[in-house]
């Protein structure tokens, strides 16, 4: 189900180690695809439409399967693997290439719990309770405690966790010879190709460069999805008994953080299906280098090719005590900018991000069975400027809300499931991510496994209902709408305007009602007046148009959630409400699409067992 060899070779040559979508973006920068534009961003169809890449065109554009998985990262491949092992006919589609798109190519660590190595479940639970400031989902933490070791064994069996010499330990570091290190040391150990190898080995067909725009619900149940292959413009229809959306988080544009193909696609689809979206107020801002703010490689350096180091075994009683002390410390005085520039580093404020457990195993080198050495960083330029992933939400804190008792990503729409970072709200760390390095890649793999099981079980009980011709025609028309305009706005211009609105620290880091409302007014204008008029000339431009629409929607939800939480908690910091307010905000803020198309706000209280009231009576800290 992959594309032609010549195409793969070309993508491999134009970029070193980046995702399929990032590489394909190079192809969009043709004279015909980039029109001259002024500050208005307006463009016209005066230039010829470039030819599509016919060699990429799939032999088949319509499929019927039991389980469709959308997304080829850790969550998606595990959902597909589990569904296949359950005996189902499974297909996976990815906007990039499995293993190379989204955030999955970039984790340098993998974290798991193992009682045989001395891990204490109660200490882990309490570290999350205090580290999350009383809103962490301890039910999902319990699932991770029980299942993470088995997931480690699964991922390791695929060859994704091989250990080999770090680049800094070789001759290639001095000259930064990444090609030499990759070709002569990493060789068969490189984990990203293993995703495709696993899919092929298990006879799971997959498509790359397919952007899914519509998950179809007919007669009250999910019956498949429709998208397009942006390298050719071919519309792809997949009829399915059940669908797992594992479509990732998002950001506006990567400025030094390599997640540019993460664009809130799944969140946009879910929101327009009427599903509740949770946790948008929590930031995962990231930092980069001020002297090269858009250079992914300077920031990532050799870590992209270094081994995926094993983490865990680091939650101690002393660490839990520190987290409790930090969590109990409420701010009583508004902080001031230490440099006179107005910027307050909220991540360093004591109650904002309580002490994380460390990145290494406390008994590494002491226990011969301990393989978790923790995060090992190859020397690289230190980060000094925040803002590398504007509008990205805190890991695992946002996405479709399936309920506090959810354990399988069941959206409430029969046949539709969610899994993974930014698309499935599980909230194990609340809005602070206190669980340490490597947790997310392991955790979303477990989410994918659960969703794959649930989707398979559902598919075994129902017959296949095909997407109606009317729904196919409607989706195709909506997908191709930007191609039909004679005049409109450039999606790259719109994306840059959106970034300029959201990136200032007073909007996304040190928040206030005035700044948030001003940004929201701007975003709403783009929603109503720019998004409907985005113009495309080819498949690549078409992808960009839809991504900008998704980003505008995500930014609106984010700003509204930030306005609604009038307190400071986790990575959400309000200058006008600098103190945590447990009386009013031990809750999950939700947004659903209303009848008028605008978000409707609501909330759900967190479980009492997750808060300070749920601390075991016999626990002594």
How far is it, in rounded angstroms, from Cα 417 to Cα 215?
11
The packing angle between helices 138-157 and 439-459, to 10°, is: 90
Strand 221-229 to strand 210-218: parallel, antiparallel, or no bridges (unpaired)? antiparallel
Mean pLDDT in the chain? 87
User: Rounded to 10 degrees, what is the CA torsion of 360, 407, 279, 496?
Assistant: 80
DSSP 2-59: ---HHHHHHHHHHSSS--HHHHHHHHH-STTTS----TT-EEES-SPPPPP-GGG--S
List of residues 6+ apart from 132 with CB closer than 8 A: 427, 428, 429, 430, 431, 432, 434, 570, 610
Q: If you average pLDDT over each of 81-85, 427-431, 537-541, 611-615, which comes out highest? A: 81-85
Instruction: Give the chain's radius of gyration (CA, Å).
Output: 23
For 527-566, write each residue's pLDDT tens digit. Answer: 999 999 999 999 999 999 999 999 999 999 999 999 999 9
pLDDT on residue 289? 80
Structure tokens belonging to residue 427: 């909230």
pLDDT on residue 17? 30
pLDDT on residue 292? 79
How far is it, in rounded angstroms, from Cα 597 to Cα 80?
33
**More confident call, 335 vs 212:** 212
The CA–CA distances, whole Å, from 475 to 216, 227, 269, 271 equal: 9, 8, 12, 16
CB atoms within 10 A of CB 613: 10
Q: For residues 318 and 484, is the Cβ–Cβ distance under 8 A?
A: no
DSSP type of residue 116: G
Mean per-residue pLDDT, 32-52:
56
Question: What is the three-state SS of 210-262?
Answer: EEEEEEEEECCEEEEEEEEECCCCEEEEEEEEEEEECCCCECCCCCCCCCCCC
Task: Name 400's bridge partners.
Answer: 277, 424
Number of H helices, E strands in the chain: 17, 20
How far is it, in rounded angstroms, from Cα 618 to Cα 577?
35
For 113-127, write each residue's pLDDT tens digit. Answer: 999 999 999 999 999
pLDDT on residue 388? 84
**More confident call, 389 vs 479:** 479
**Where residue 385 falls among pLDDT bands split at 50, 70, 90?**
confident
For 70-102, write each residue's pLDDT tens digit. Answer: 999 999 999 999 999 999 999 999 999 999 988
For 162-207, write each residue's pLDDT tens digit. Answer: 999 999 899 998 888 989 999 999 999 999 999 999 999 999 999 9
Among 391, 342, 343, smallest CA distance to 559 is for: 391
Among 222, 153, 169, smallest CA distance to 415 is for: 222
**Where residue 301 falls among pLDDT bands split at 50, 70, 90?**
low
**More confident call, 168 vs 156:** 156
pLDDT on residue 348? 61
DSSP 284-303: ---EE-TTSTT-HHHHHGGG
How far is it, in rounded angstroms, from Cα 537 to Cα 224?
28
Alpha helices (runs of H) in 70-158, residue ranges in sequence order: 74-85, 121-131, 138-157
pLDDT on residue 386? 76
Q: What is the largest CA-CA distance in the chain?
A: 74
Judged by average pLDDT, the poorest of 101-110, 221-230, 376-385, 610-619 is 376-385
pLDDT on residue 253? 85
For 475-495, write each residue's pLDDT tens digit. Answer: 999 999 999 999 999 999 999
pLDDT on residue 43? 75
Task: Name 417's bridge partners.
Answer: 244, 410
For 233-286, write each residue's pLDDT tens digit. Answer: 899 999 999 999 999 999 998 777 878 779 999 999 999 999 999 999 999 877
Q: Percent of the chain having pLDDT more than 90?
A: 67
E runs forming strands in 289-437: 309-311, 385-386, 399-401, 416-418, 424-425
Predicted TM-score (pTM) of this structure: 0.91
**More confident call, 19 vs 413:** 413
List of residues 6+ apart from 90 with CB closer than 8 A: 65, 66, 67, 68, 69, 80, 83, 84, 204, 205
Q: If you average pLDDT over each of 48-62, 364-378, 570-584, which comes out highest? A: 570-584
Three-class SS of residue 526? helix
Write the burial class of residue 111 (CB in 10 Å: 0-12 exposed, 13-18 middle, 19+ buried).
buried
How far is it, in rounded angstroms, from Cα 174 to Cα 168?
8
List of residues 6+ apart from 341 with CB closer than 8 A: none
Dihedral angle sign, alpha carbons of residues 96, 102, 106, 110? negative
pLDDT on residue 275? 98
> Is the model's pLDDT at 224 over the cut of 90?
yes
CB atoms within 10 A of CB 369: 9
Q: Which domains does the chain have, with CATH numbers?
A: 60-319+354-459 (3.50.50.60)
Judged by average pLDDT, the poorest of 286-295, 488-497, 592-601 is 286-295
Core vs surface per residue 171-204: b (16+ CB within 10 A) or e: ebbeeeebeebbeebbeebbbbebbbebbeeeeb
Three-class SS of residue 175? coil
């Amino acid at each position: 189900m992959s594309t032609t060899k010549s195409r793969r070779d070309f993508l491999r040559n134009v970029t070193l180690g980046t995702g399929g979508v990032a590489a394909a973006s190079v192809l969009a920068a043709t004279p015909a695809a980039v029109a001259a534009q002024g500050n208005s961003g307006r463009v016209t169809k005066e230039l010829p439409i470039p030819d599509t890449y016919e060699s990429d065109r799939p032999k088949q554009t319509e499929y019927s399967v039991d389980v469709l998985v959308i997304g080829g990262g850790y969550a998606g491949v595990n959902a597909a693997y589990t569904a296949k092992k359950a005996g189902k006919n499974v297909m996976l589609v990815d906007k990039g290439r499995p293993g190379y798109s989204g955030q999955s190519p970039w984790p340098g660590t993998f974290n798991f719990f193992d009682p045989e190595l001395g891990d204490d479940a109660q200490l882990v639970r309490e570290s999350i309770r205090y580290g999350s400031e009383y809103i962490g989902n301890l039910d999902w933490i319990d699932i991770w405690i029980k299942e993470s070791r088995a997931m480690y064994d699964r991922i390791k069996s695929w060859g994704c966790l091989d250990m080999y010499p770090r680049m800094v330990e070789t001759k290639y570091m001095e000259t930064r010879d990444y090609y030499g290190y990759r070709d002569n040391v990493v060789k068969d150990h490189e984990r990203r190709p293993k995703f495709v190898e696993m899919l092929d080995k298990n006879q799971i067909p997959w498509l790359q460069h397919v952007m899914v725009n519509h998950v179809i619900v007919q007669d009250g149940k999910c019956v498949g999805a429709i998208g397009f292959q942006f390298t050719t413009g071919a519309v792809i229809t997949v009829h399915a008994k059940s669908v797992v959306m594992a479509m990732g988080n998002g950001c506006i544009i990567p400025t030094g953080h390599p997640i540019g193909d993460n664009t809130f696609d799944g969140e946009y689809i879910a929101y327009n299906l009427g599903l509740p979206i949770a946790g948008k107020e929590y930031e995962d801002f990231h930092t980069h280098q001020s002297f090269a703010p858009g250079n992914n490689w300077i920031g990532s350096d050799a870590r992209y090719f270094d081994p995926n180091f094993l983490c865990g075994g680091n939650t101690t009683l002393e660490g839990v005590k520190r987290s409790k002390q930090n969590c109990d410390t409420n701010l009583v005085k508004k902080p001031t900018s230490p440099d006179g520039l107005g910027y307050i580093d909220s991540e360093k404020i004591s109650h904002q991000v309580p002490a994380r457990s460390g990145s290494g195993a406390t008994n590494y080198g002491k226990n011969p069975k301990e393989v978790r050495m923790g995060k090992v960083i190859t020397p690289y330029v230190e980060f000094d400027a925040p803002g590398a992933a504007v509008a990205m939400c805190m890991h695992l804190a946002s996405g479709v809300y399936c309920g506090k008792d959810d354990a399988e990503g069941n959206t409430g729409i029969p046949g539709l499931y969610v899994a993974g970072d930014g698309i499935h709200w599980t909230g194990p760390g609340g809005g602070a991510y206190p669980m340490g390095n490597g947790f997310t890649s392991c955790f979303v793999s477990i989410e994918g496994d659960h969703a794959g099981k649930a989707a398979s079980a559902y598919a075994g009980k129902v017959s296949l209902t095909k997407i109606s011709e009317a729904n196919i025609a409607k989706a195709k028309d909506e997908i191709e709408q930007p191609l039909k305009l004679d005049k409109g706005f450039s999606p790259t211009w719109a994306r840059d305007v959106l970034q300029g609105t959201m990136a200032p620290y007073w909007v996304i880091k040190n928040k206030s009602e005035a700044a948030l409302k001003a940004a929201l007014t701007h975003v709403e204008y783009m929603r109503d007046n720019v998004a409907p008029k985005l113009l495309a000339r080819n498949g690549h431009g078409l992808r960009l148009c839809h991504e900008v629409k998704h980003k505008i929607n995500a930014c609106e939800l984010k700003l509204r959630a930030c306005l609604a939480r009038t307190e400071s908690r986790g990575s959400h910091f309000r200058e006008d409400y600098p103190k945590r307010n447990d009386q009013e905000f031990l809750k999950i803020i939700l947004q659903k699409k209303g009848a008028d198309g605008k978000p409707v706000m609501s909330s759900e209280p967190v479980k009492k067992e997750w808060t300070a009231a749920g601390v075991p009576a016999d626990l002594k800290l």
